[in-house]
């Protein structure tokens, strides 16, 4: 009979090495999870919307990031040959890569997993390696496939803008030509502009001047261009009635343009002698210094009619309230939405937004300008149709229908 | 004159006197109104809070002395927050009158946190051309500002070695009393992709909502209330919170006058109707 | 030529700036940067133009003894003194900095503070419920005025699980109807700006030349 001890100890003896082996595997696996690995999924791609001088690298963080210090980006000019790096010692990796023709491009923070390489030649091949660096260890990735940057002649992100500008320009050209050939183009009645004649007449009857404030912005602002346009028309009417027109300016270039416009307007109605430099003058560039000067003028001279046309800021209420207190008839026009409430509450007539741009067209009825104004209207219709379609089309999708059904049973 | 006519025609001087008292008294005797934080202010705060030490922020003082009562509190609070985070600040201004204000605020707040000029912050000064400057910065900071406010070449300033274009900027902060915040969002944000947050006067803040809703300006401070909310978030009380009492009383006063005017209007209309019926 | 020259220049530069927006070609980028630099130089020169215009205007007023001509002396002396102070004592300290901090800034702040009074008198006068639209304006204005101060958060309560205070109503007014109106105006203004820019490039609009018609 065999010893019981011998029978029972044989299975136990097998379990011990098995347990040790399992323990060793677990230990290795656990340790492996704490060790950083080479950056994975390193991809190089052409940077969009450039002149073929940039390539963009992306990669995935490999392993725990708290041990990695930096990423190094290496580049090979051309299609790199197959590469085997048998070591992870940083010095050895550096030496090996440099000897094979690779060069460091840049060192990147560990929080970044993208890099843009610049100063490249369009059409030339480039290969990249990204190496995770920590301590004396460097873990390079597999080389990317060779990529060459390509030129884009048109910025892809601006295609929709290009289409919109082209359509709009075509509309402007077509409608201007149509207007030039005598087509009757309708503009709705704008009360503020209809009142210009009445306002100028009032100043003439009372023997008091007209004050015209062309806004506070310089000449490159569209609202100022519109304001000077309207100034020309108002100056013509003032010239016809021989009423003094005063135009204080905040910007010296606007002043120069305003002087020229008023001079020409008086000349066009046969009254060039009415123009005087001191009626169209520069005040100060300081916003509230300008407001104070104009308000003081209104209180002293008590103009019968005030025009506030152009771009305004916080001083709008100071001007409008002061004018209101002097009893003047006031016509305002601005595309500054924040100032519209102040003008509406203190002025007799207010041109809102686009009505300002329509001002000169409305008063002069020049075919060229009328055509451009109508082009704006048609462009608005196109935008409205696009907006409505943009609302309706998603509503026809199965996902939207499902959501609607789940909400309302 | 009937009393309801008097209600509709209160002398301006009485209104102005009441307004003076309504603003002055709460500043002298504070009430202590609680300040609730809005989503817009929280967006502004979160974008600065998410910055890391060493990041570079472009800070634009886009205002002058006229609106400094409303905008200085938010400029000071924002700079304190930035310096507390260890963020480096490149500062500019688009207004000639803003240079003195920017200098004062930068020097005071930098001294509070032991920041050194040229290393932790720099003031590049004033440039008169808004659109040109904003667009040009996208190509080269040093070409746009060859020298700082004090005449030192930007090539010699240590902080400027790390800044070339908007790509090197983690965040753009515009404190503006005009439409400049919108221009930063359109030109710098739209064309160059830089994130813009803004602080604005209460009037201008209303115009920022379309940009906020579209995500172009992910956070903004609106007026003195915005400054108070931000001071609450950064836990550094200042003039914003102090001003809330005065602003509240002033608004209540205006509403009172509006109600008086409307009551007078309705009473006068009722009187006219009675006269017509008779 | 005097009229056509600037129009041709405007067309060429306008088209170049338009093209550079759509293409990453480095030639157009260099042109773009060059034009931006020129623009800054031109703007710097306008300061000289403005200063000259100011001096000429006030010296004429003094010479012709026009009404309140004495104040023109104040303007000219102030201008001269600030320039000299900046040149002699620089702008970081001295009289220039003192005058800026103690005269200019308080004066600017004072002018802006007038708005508080003007807003009060304007709203008292304008917010009358004369028509349906005026009543809507009155109610919206009152709600936003209350909602933008801490008092607004204290008026209201929890309704159906939602916090409904004057502040939340004011936020809704600003985020929904105000935003819708603002977007509509923005689209219109944007189209107007684009149309005006196209007109200037194509030479249809020549106001900048001082030609009104």
- Give the per-residue pLDDT at B78: 96
Q: What Cα–Cα distance (Å) separates residue A383 from each residue in A161, A167, C181?
A: 13, 12, 16
The 10 Å CB-count burial string (b at 16+, else e) for A6-44 is eeeeeeeeeeeeeeeeeeeeeeeeeeeeeebebbeebeb
Query: Do residue B219 and residue B253 come from a single domain?
Result: no
**A259 with C108: Cβ contact below 8 A:** no
Asked if residues A129 and A122 have their Cβ atoms less than 8 Å apart, the reply is no
Taking the C-alpha atoms of residue B91 and residue B121, their distance in angstroms, rounded to an integer, is 7
Banded model confidence at residue A23, pLDDT cuts 50, 70, 90: low
- Give the per-residue pLDDT at C150: 85
Interface test with C, best of B209, B237, B260 (most C CBs within 10 A): B209
B32 in a structural domain: no
- Averaged pLDDT, A272-283: 89
Range list of β-strands (E), A297-372: 305-309, 329-334, 349-352
Summary mean pLDDT of chain C: 86
Domain that holds residue A379: 375-408
Nearest to B172 by CA among B147, B137, B144: B137
Query: Do residue A197 and residue A128 come from a single domain?
Result: no
CB proximity under 8 Å: B 87-126 to A: 96-97
- Give the per-residue pLDDT at C195: 84
B58 in a structural domain: yes
Query: Do residue B14 and residue B70 come from a single domain?
Result: no
**pLDDT over threshold 90, residue A70:** no
β-pair type (A40-46, A55-60): antiparallel
B141 in a structural domain: yes
Domain that holds residue B268: 3-26+244-277
Banded model confidence at residue C199, pLDDT cuts 50, 70, 90: confident
**A314 with B66: Cβ contact below 8 A:** yes
Does the pTM exceed 0.90? no
Banded model confidence at residue C212, pLDDT cuts 50, 70, 90: low
Query: Do residue A70 and residue A203 come from a single domain?
Result: no
Query: Do residue A123 and residue A70 come from a single domain?
Result: yes
Helix (H) and strand (E) counts in chain A: 12, 13
- Give the per-residue pLDDT at A6: 40
- Give the per-residue pLDDT at C119: 87
Query: Do residue A201 and residue A335 come from a single domain?
Result: yes
Asked if residues C141 and C170 have their Cβ atoms less than 8 Å apart, the reply is no
- Give the per-residue pLDDT at C152: 86
* Three-state DSSP class for residue B157: coil
Banded model confidence at residue A9, pLDDT cuts 50, 70, 90: very low
- Give the per-residue pLDDT at A200: 94
DSSP label of A196: H
Nearest-by-Cβ selection for C151 from B33, B207, B228: B33
Query: Do residue B111 and residue B13 come from a single domain?
Result: no
Asked if residues A72 and A137 have their Cβ atoms less than 8 Å apart, the reply is no
B17 in a structural domain: yes
CA-nearest residue to A334 within chain C is C189
Query: Do residue B259 and residue B127 come from a single domain?
Result: no
Query: Do residue B53 and residue B8 come from a single domain?
Result: no
Domain-by-domain residue ranges, chain C? 1-89
A200 in a structural domain: yes
The predicted-structure confidence for A328-386, as pLDDT tens digits, reads as follows: 999 999 988 888 888 988 899 999 888 888 887 888 777 778 888 888 889 889 999 99
| Interchain CB contact of C44 with B (< 8 Å) | yes
Taking the C-alpha atoms of residue A80 and residue A11, their distance in angstroms, rounded to an integer, is 57
Nearest-by-Cβ selection for B178 from A288, A313, A337: A313
- Give the per-residue pLDDT at A34: 59
Query: Do residue A386 and residue A336 come from a single domain?
Result: no
Summary mean pLDDT of chain A: 86
Number of domains in chain B: 2
Number of domains in chain A: 3
A275 in a structural domain: yes
The predicted-structure confidence for A30-67, as pLDDT tens digits, reads as follows: 555 556 788 888 999 998 888 899 999 999 876 666 77
Tell me how close the Cα of C199 comes to any Cα of chain B, in angstroms. Answer: 20
Query: Do residue B254 and residue B272 come from a single domain?
Result: yes
Tell me how close the Cα of A338 comes to any Cα of chain B, in angstroms. Answer: 6
Structure tokens at A354: 């686009």
CATH number assigned to the domain comprising residue A260: 3.40.50
CATH number assigned to the domain comprising residue B220: 3.40.50.620
* Three-state DSSP class for residue A396: coil
Tell me how close the Cα of A86 comes to any Cα of chain B, in angstroms. Answer: 37
Query: Do residue B130 and residue B259 come from a single domain?
Result: no
**pLDDT over threshold 90, residue A262:** yes
Query: Do residue A337 and residue A221 come from a single domain?
Result: yes
- Give the per-residue pLDDT at B91: 97
Tell me how close the Cα of A256 comes to any Cα of chain B, in angstroms. Answer: 19
Taking the C-alpha atoms of residue A248 and residue A253, their distance in angstroms, rounded to an integer, is 12
> Residue A82: left if φ>0, alpha if ψ -120 to 50, beta else—which one?
beta
Query: Do residue A129 and residue A189 come from a single domain?
Result: no
- Other Cβ atoms within 10 Å of C61 Cβ, number: 21
- Tell me the percentage of chain A whose pLDDT exceeds 70: 90
A9 in a structural domain: no
Asked if residues B241 and B228 have their Cβ atoms less than 8 Å apart, the reply is yes
What is the Rg, in whole angstroms, of the alpha carbon atoms belonging to chain C? Answer: 26
Query: Do residue A320 and residue A384 come from a single domain?
Result: no
Taking the C-alpha atoms of residue B138 and residue A52, their distance in angstroms, rounded to an integer, is 19
Q: Chain C residues with CB inside 8 Å of A152's CB?
A: 24
* Most confident listed range (A390-394, C46-50, C182-186): A390-394
Query: Do residue A401 and residue A305 come from a single domain?
Result: no
Nearest-by-Cβ selection for C212 from A154, A264, A283: A264
Interface test with A, best of B178, B182, B183, B191 (most A CBs within 10 A): B178
B9 in a structural domain: yes
Banded model confidence at residue A16, pLDDT cuts 50, 70, 90: low
- Give the per-residue pLDDT at A4: 40
- Other Cβ atoms within 10 Å of B3 Cβ, number: 9
The predicted-structure confidence for A291-306, as pLDDT tens digits, reads as follows: 999 999 999 999 999 9
Query: Do residue A191 and residue A319 come from a single domain?
Result: yes
Q: Chain C residues with CB inside 8 Å of A257's CB?
A: 207-210
- Give the per-residue pLDDT at B255: 93
A175 in a structural domain: no
The predicted-structure confidence for B88-127, as pLDDT tens digits, reads as follows: 999 999 988 889 899 999 999 999 999 999 999 999 999 8
Banded model confidence at residue A287, pLDDT cuts 50, 70, 90: confident
- Tell me the percentage of chain A whose pLDDT exceeds 90: 42
Neighbouring residues of B117: CB distance < 8 A, sequence distance ≥ 6: B110, B123
Chain centroid to Cα A227, Å, comes to: 25
Burial of B181 (0-12, 13-18, 19+ CB in 10 A): buried
**pLDDT over threshold 70, residue A284:** yes
Strand partners, C165: C156
In chain B, what are the helix, strand and coil shares in percent, each to the nearest 5? 60, 15, 25
Tell me how close the Cα of A252 comes to any Cα of chain C, in angstroms. Answer: 5
ipTM for the predicted complex: 0.78
The predicted-structure confidence for C67-111, as pLDDT tens digits, reads as follows: 778 988 998 999 999 899 989 988 777 888 888 889 888 888 888
Higher pLDDT, A310 or A397: A310
Return the H-helix or E-strand segment holding A267: helix A252-268
**B207 with A288: Cβ contact below 8 A:** no
**B258 with C149: Cβ contact below 8 A:** no
Query: Do residue B188 and residue B103 come from a single domain?
Result: yes
A340 in a structural domain: yes
Query: Do residue B224 and residue B251 come from a single domain?
Result: no
Asked if residues B59 and B82 have their Cβ atoms less than 8 Å apart, the reply is yes
A357 in a structural domain: yes
User: Residues of chain B whose pLDDT is less than 50?
Assistant: none
Asked if residues A390 and A187 have their Cβ atoms less than 8 Å apart, the reply is no
B159 in a structural domain: yes
Taking the C-alpha atoms of residue B92 and residue B58, their distance in angstroms, rounded to an integer, is 8
- Tell me the percentage of chain C whose pLDDT exceeds 90: 14
B60 in a structural domain: yes
**A338 with B66: Cβ contact below 8 A:** no
Query: Do residue A271 and residue A332 come from a single domain?
Result: yes
Query: Do residue B64 and residue B115 come from a single domain?
Result: yes
**pLDDT over threshold 80, residue A193:** yes
Query: Do residue B171 and residue B88 come from a single domain?
Result: yes
Interface test with C, best of B19, B246, B254 (most C CBs within 10 A): B254
**A338 with B12: Cβ contact below 8 A:** no
Burial of B116 (0-12, 13-18, 19+ CB in 10 A): exposed
Query: Do residue B74 and residue B8 come from a single domain?
Result: no
> Residue A258: left if φ>0, alpha if ψ -120 to 50, beta else—which one?
alpha
Interface test with C, best of B21, B40, B129, B214 (most C CBs within 10 A): B129
**pLDDT over threshold 90, residue C178:** no
Query: Do residue A266 and residue A227 come from a single domain?
Result: yes
What is the Rg, in whole angstroms, of the alpha carbon atoms belonging to chain B? Answer: 23
Q: Chain C residues with CB inside 8 Å of B97's CB?
A: 100, 104-105, 108
DSSP label of C204: S
Nearest-by-Cβ selection for B206 from A314, A325, A338: A338
The predicted-structure confidence for C6-16, as pLDDT tens digits, reads as follows: 889 989 999 99
- Other Cβ atoms within 10 Å of A172 Cβ, number: 25
A329 in a structural domain: yes
B257 in a structural domain: yes
**pLDDT over threshold 90, residue A212:** yes
A315 in a structural domain: yes
Structure tokens at A114: 């993208």
Taking the C-alpha atoms of residue A61 and residue A301, their distance in angstroms, rounded to an integer, is 74
Q: Chain A residues with CB inside 8 Å of C7's CB?
A: none
CA-nearest residue to A316 within chain B is B203
């Amino acid at each position: 009979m065999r010893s019981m001890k011998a029978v029972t100890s044989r299975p136990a003896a097998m379990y011990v090495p098995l347990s040790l082996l399992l323990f060793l595997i677990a230990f290795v696996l656990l340790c492996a999870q704490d060790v950083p690995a080479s950056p994975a999924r390193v991809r190089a791609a052409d940077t969009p919307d450039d002149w073929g001088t940039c390539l963009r690298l992306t990669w995935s963080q490999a392993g725990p990031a708290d041990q990695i210090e930096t990423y190094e980006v290496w580049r090979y000019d051309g299609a790199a040959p197959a590469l085997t790096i048998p070591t992870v010692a940083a010095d050895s990796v550096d030496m090996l890569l440099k000897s094979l023709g690779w060069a460091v491009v840049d060192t990147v923070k560990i929080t970044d997993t993208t890099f843009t390489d610049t100063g490249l030649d369009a059409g030339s091949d480039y290969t990249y390696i990204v190496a995770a660096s920590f301590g004396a260890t460097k873990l390079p990735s597999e080389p990317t496939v060779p990529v060459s940057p390509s030129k884009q002649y048109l910025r892809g992100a601006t295609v929709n803008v290009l289409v919109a500008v082209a359509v709009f320009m075509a509309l402007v050209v077509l409608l201007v030509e149509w207007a030039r050939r005598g087509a009757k183009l309708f503009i709705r009645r704008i009360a503020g502009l209809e009142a210009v004649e009445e306002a100028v007449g009032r100043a003439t009857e009372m023997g008091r001047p007209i004050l015209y404030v062309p806004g506070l912005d310089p000449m490159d602002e569209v609202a100022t261009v519109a304001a000077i346009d309207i100034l020309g028309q108002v100056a013509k009417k003032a010239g016809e009635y021989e009423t003094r027109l005063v135009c204080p300016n905040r910007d010296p270039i606007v002043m120069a343009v305003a002087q020229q416009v008023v001079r020409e307007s008086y000349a066009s109605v046969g009254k060039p002698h009415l123009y005087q430099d001191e009626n169209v003058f520069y005040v100060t560039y300081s916003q509230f210094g300008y407001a104070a000067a104009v308000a003081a003028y209104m209180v002293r001279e008590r103009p019968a009619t005030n025009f506030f046309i152009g771009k305004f800021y916080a001083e709008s209420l100071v001007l409008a309230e002061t004018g209101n207190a002097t009893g003047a008839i006031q016509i305002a026009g601005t595309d500054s939405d924040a100032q519209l409430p102040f003008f509406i509450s203190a002025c007799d007539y207010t041109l809102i937004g686009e009505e300002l741009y329509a001002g000169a067209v409305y008063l002069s009825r020049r075919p060229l300008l009328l055509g451009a104004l109508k082009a704006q209207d048609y462009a608005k219709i196109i935008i409205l149709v696009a907006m409505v379609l943009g609302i309706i089309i998603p509503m026809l999708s199965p996902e939207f229908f499902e959501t609607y059904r789940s909400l309302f049973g | 004159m009937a009393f309801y006519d008097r209600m509709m025609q209160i002398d301006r001087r009485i209104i102005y006197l009441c307004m003076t008292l309504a603003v002055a008294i709460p500043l002298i005797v504070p009430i202590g109104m609680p300040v609730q934080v809005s989503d817009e202010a929280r967006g502004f705060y979160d974008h600065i809070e998410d910055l890391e030490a060493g990041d570079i922020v472009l800070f634009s003082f886009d205002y002058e002395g006229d609106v400094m009562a409303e905008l200085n509190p938010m400029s000071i609070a924002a700079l304190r927050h930035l310096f507390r985070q260890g963020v480096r600040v490149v500062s500019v201004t688009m207004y000639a009158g803003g240079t003195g204000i920017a200098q004062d605020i930068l020097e005071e707040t930098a001294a509070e946190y032991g920041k050194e000029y040229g290393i932790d912050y720099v003031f590049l000064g004033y440039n008169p051309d808004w659109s040109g400057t904003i667009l040009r910065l996208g190509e080269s900071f040093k070409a746009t500002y060859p020298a700082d406010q004090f005449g030192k070449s930007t090539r010699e300033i240590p902080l400027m070695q790390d800044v070339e274009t908007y790509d090197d900027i983690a965040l753009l902060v515009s404190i503006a009393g005009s439409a400049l915040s919108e221009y930063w969002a359109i030109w710098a944000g739209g064309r160059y992709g830089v994130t813009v947050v803004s602080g604005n006067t209460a009037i201008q803040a209303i115009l920022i909502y379309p940009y906020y809703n579209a995500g172009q300006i992910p956070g903004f401070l609106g007026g003195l209330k915005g400054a108070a909310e931000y001071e609450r978030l950064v836990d550094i009380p200042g003039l914003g919170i102090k001003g809330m009492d005065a602003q509240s009383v002033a608004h209540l006063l205006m509403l009172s006058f509006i109600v008086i005017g409307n009551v007078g209007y309705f009473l006068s209309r009722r009187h006219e109707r009675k006269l017509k019926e008779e | 030529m005097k009229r056509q020259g600037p129009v041709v220049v405007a067309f060429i530069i306008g088209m170049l700036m338009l093209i550079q927006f759509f293409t990453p070609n480095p030639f157009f980028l260099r042109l773009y940067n060059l034009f931006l630099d020129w623009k800054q130089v031109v703007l710097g020169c306008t300061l000289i133009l403005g200063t000259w215009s100011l001096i000429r205007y006030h010296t004429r007023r003094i010479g012709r003894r026009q009404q309140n001509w004495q104040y023109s002396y104040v303007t000219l002396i102030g201008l001269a003194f600030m320039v000299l102070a900046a040149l002699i004592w620089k702008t970081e300290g001295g009289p220039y900095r003192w005058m800026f901090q103690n005269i200019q800034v308080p004066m600017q702040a004072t002018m802006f503070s007038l708005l508080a009074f003007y807003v009060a008198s304007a709203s008292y006068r304008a917010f009358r419920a004369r028509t349906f639209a005026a009543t809507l304006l009155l109610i919206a204005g009152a709600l936003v005025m209350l909602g933008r101060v801490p008092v607004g958060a204290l008026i209201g309560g929890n309704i159906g699980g939602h916090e409904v205070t004057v502040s939340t109503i004011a936020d809704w007014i600003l985020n929904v109807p105000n935003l819708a109106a603002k977007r509509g105006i923005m689209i219109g203004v944007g189209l107007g700006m684009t149309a005006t820019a196209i007109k200037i490039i194509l030479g249809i609009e020549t106001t900048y030349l001082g030609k009104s018609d």
